[in-house]
């Protein structure tokens, strides 16, 4: 039986890919989930795993550009294995098999032992715009026994962190390692039914023996005995090295089996040999320079998916919007007096504290109804106006800035808003926010005052058109009815997209928010 392998869907905006290279030849035997090719789109490079075991029949050639869903190759599942290579070639073969082949072989051994058919666990679909996830941590070890629905790993995307529950009970066989980035549908692990304790020990012993043999083989083998990936740059990494004029042989690969990744290429530095005579004067000059004192340690960390996405979005907003910021100040005494008078009773009745965020959110919902363009978005040549207000609240989590959404904030009371803020902030700190809780939003509020910021120009949370920045409260002298008084004052900043919001609308919106906050009774009376 022949299985057609087609170009998978790798992103909602990607319609075609280019075959960067075939890692297996036409007629070679491939194993289930073994990486057989590297595909390249205009946004990323990714691997193509075999969807079955059998004989590979290549349809599209290296360098071809084909559409998503088109046939790229076929796998003859009933085909016989290709003849064994001569002894000389076997000696030159890699001492260590590729990880996918090892992982595919392990379930077969388990089945032979009568443990039953292994359950393959793949990366689930977690959002229409998410194409890959990073394994943040394995909560169970390879060979451990796991129960059905037990959480075995934490996965991290560019938007959220979520848990991976076991799809069956049995022995866990990990395929993708912690820190690996795996595409949606990619294989993460297998679960072999059975108690797992005896089998886990046998597998551990077998793996230890295999590792010992590999170390011995590497010690006896020539220095060139490596896998096909060792020292080989990915297509994206190859382009970067070519632009820098750096030889791939001078770069240490940190990817699987020693592959040179895009990050390796970006961090590579060109080293040019210099004549000894020319270097001598510089060495003498360096000797004359004063030596640095004290510790001068550095450390390099890879950016998380969340941090990379935030960075990309912020740069995009700065480049693609006509962003301006207008400022005003608010006398916070009326709100502070209300909180001092009623906060204990408020918490007793509603079981939640009375904070500033509920007042600001409520004031913004009223002002947004009066100035709807501030609550709108640009979509191509159209403007979308919303008759509801979904307020995004910027929250600093341990893994970076996240922006959960309070839905229909215009219909919530002060206690309803406070309860949503507490709920979402707790989930953000615990890394438990779902994709649905962070998508959408028509207007954003960010509070830099909790960190001591006195003034800032917040960046718009695209595709929204405006964001309100709160700041810290400072006791300052102000003129009240012709007299100088010390009042708790806060600066407000409204950053907005001038393409859809005029100056009159932005300033009027901020003035309206100021009025509502300085006279909170307006919020209750709707005036």
The rounded radius of gyration (Å) of the Cα atoms in the chain is 30
Query: How far is it, in rounded angstroms, from Cα 190 to Cα 104?
Result: 9
Write down the pLDDT at residue 258. Answer: 76
Angle at 498 between CA 402 and CA 396, to 5 degrees: 15
Burial class (CB in 10 A: 0-12, 13-18, 19+), 145: middle
DSSP letter at 411?
G
CB contact at 8 A, 173 and 118: yes
Question: CB 510: neighbour CB atoms within 10 A?
Answer: 23
* Mean per-residue pLDDT of the chain: 81
Known catalytic residue: 497? no
Q: What is the pLDDT of residue 184?
A: 87
Of 278, 427, 310, 443, the closest CA to residue 367 belongs to: 443
Q: What pLDDT does 440 receive?
A: 87
pLDDT of residue 108: 39
pLDDT of residue 43: 61
Q: What is the pLDDT of residue 95?
A: 38
**Domain pair 1-87 / 96-220, same fold:** yes
The SS3 of residue 479 is strand
Kindly list the domain boundaries of the chain, sorted by start residue.
1-87, 96-220, 235-267, 310-525
pLDDT of 293? 78
Residue 130 CA to chain centroid, in angstroms? 9
The residues of the chain scoring below 50 in pLDDT are 81-115, 197-200, 215, 218-225, 274-278
Return the CATH number of the domain spanning residue range 235-267. Answer: 4.10.320.10
Catalytic one of 142, 149, 498, 519: 498
The whole-number pLDDT of residue 457 equals: 93
For residue 401, the model assigns a pLDDT of 78
Q: Tell me how far the alpha carbon of residue 475 is from its chain's centroid.
A: 41
Q: Is there a catalytic annotation at residue 471?
A: no
- Whether domain 96-220 has CATH 3.40.50.970: the reply is no
- What are the phi and psi torsion angles at 197 (to 5°)? -65, -50
Please, what's the b/e burial string for 111-121 (b: 16 or more CB within 10 A of its CB; e: otherwise)?
A: eeeebeebbbb
CA distances from 490 to 322, 393, 450, 451 (A): 26, 18, 12, 14
Q: Which CATH class is domain 1-87?
A: mainly beta
Q: What fold does the segment set 310-525 form as a domain?
A: Chloramphenicol Acetyltransferase (3.30.559)
Q: Which residue has the tokens 């390249």?
A: 40
Q: Is 300 exposed, middle or buried (0-12, 13-18, 19+ CB in 10 A)?
A: exposed
CA distance 111 to 79: 22
Is 74 strand, coil or helix? strand
Pick the closest to residue 402 from 305, 317, 523, 491 (CA basis): 305
pLDDT score recorded for residue 287? 55
Euclidean distance between CA atoms 476 and 490, whole angstroms: 10
pTM score, whole prediction: 0.52
Instruction: Express the helix, strand and coil content of the chain in percent, nearest 5 each.
Output: 35, 25, 40
Active-site residue (options: 149, 337, 430, 502): 502
- Closest by CA position to 255, among listed 22, 98, 53: 98
């Amino acid at each position: 039986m022949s299985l057609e392998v087609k170009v998978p869907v790798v992103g909602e905006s990607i319609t075609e890919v280019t075959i960067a290279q075939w890692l297996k030849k036409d007629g070679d035997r491939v194993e289930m989930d073994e990486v057989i090719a590297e595909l390249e789109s205009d946004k990323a490079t990714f691997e193509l795993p075999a969807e079955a075991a059998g004989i590979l029949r290549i349809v599209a050639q290296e360098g071809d550009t084909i559409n998503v869903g088109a046939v790229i190759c076929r796998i003859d599942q009933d085909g016989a294995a290709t003849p064994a290579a001569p002894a000389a070639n076997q000696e030159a073969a890699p001492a260590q098999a590729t990880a996918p082949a090892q992982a595919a072989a392990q379930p077969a051994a388990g089945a032979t032992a009568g443990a039953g058919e292994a359950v393959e666990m793949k990366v689930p679909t977690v959002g229409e715009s998410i194409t890959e996830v990073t394994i943040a941590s394995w909560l169970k070890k390879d060979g451990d026994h796991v129960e059905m629905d037990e959480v075995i790993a934490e996965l991290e995307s560019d938007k959220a962190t979520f848990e991976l529950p076991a799809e069956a009970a049995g022995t866990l066989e990990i395929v993708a390692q912690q820190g690996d980035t795996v595409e949606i549908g990619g294989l993460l692990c297998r679960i072999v039914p059975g108690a797992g304790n005896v089998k886990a020990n046998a597998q551990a012993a077998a793996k230890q023996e295999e590792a010992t043999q590999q170390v011995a083989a590497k010690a006896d083998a020539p220095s060139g005995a490596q896998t096909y990936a060792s020292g080989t740059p990915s297509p994206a990494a190859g382009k970067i090295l070519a632009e820098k004029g750096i030889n791939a042989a001078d770069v240490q690969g940190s990817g699987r089996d020693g592959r040179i990744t895009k990050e390796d290429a970006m961090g590579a530095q060109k080293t040019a040999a210099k004549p000894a005579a020319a270097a001598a004067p510089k060495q003498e000059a360096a000797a004359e320079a004063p030596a640095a004192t004290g510790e001068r340690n550095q450390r390099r960390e890879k950016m998380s998916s969340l941090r990379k996405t935030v960075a990309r979005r912020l740069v995009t907003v700065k480049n693609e919007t006509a962003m301006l910021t207008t400022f005003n100040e608010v006398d916070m005494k009326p709100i502070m007096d209300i909180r001092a008078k009623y906060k204990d009773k408020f918490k007793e009745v509603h079981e939640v504290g009375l904070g500033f965020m509920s007042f600001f959110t409520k004031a913004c919902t009223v002002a947004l109804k009066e100035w709807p363009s501030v609550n709108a978005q640009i979509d191509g040549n159209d403007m979308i106006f919303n008759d509801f207000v979904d307020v995004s609240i910027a929250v600093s989590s341990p893994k970076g800035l996240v922006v959960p959404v309070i839905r229909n904030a215009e219909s919530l009371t002060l206690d309803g808003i406070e309860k949503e803020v507490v709920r979402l902030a707790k989930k953000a700190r615990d890394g438990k926010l779902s994709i649905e809780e962070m998508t959408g939003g028509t207007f954003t509020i960010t509070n830099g005052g909790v960190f001591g910021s006195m003034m800032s120009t917040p960046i718009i949370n695209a595709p929204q058109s405006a964001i309100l920045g709160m700041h810290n409260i400072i006791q300052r002298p102000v003129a009240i009815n012709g007299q100088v008084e010390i009042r708790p004052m806060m600066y407000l900043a409204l950053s907005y997209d001038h393409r859809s919001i005029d100056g009159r609308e932005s300033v009027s919106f901020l003035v309206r928010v100021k009025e509502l906050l300085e006279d909170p009774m307006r919020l209750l009376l709707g005036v």
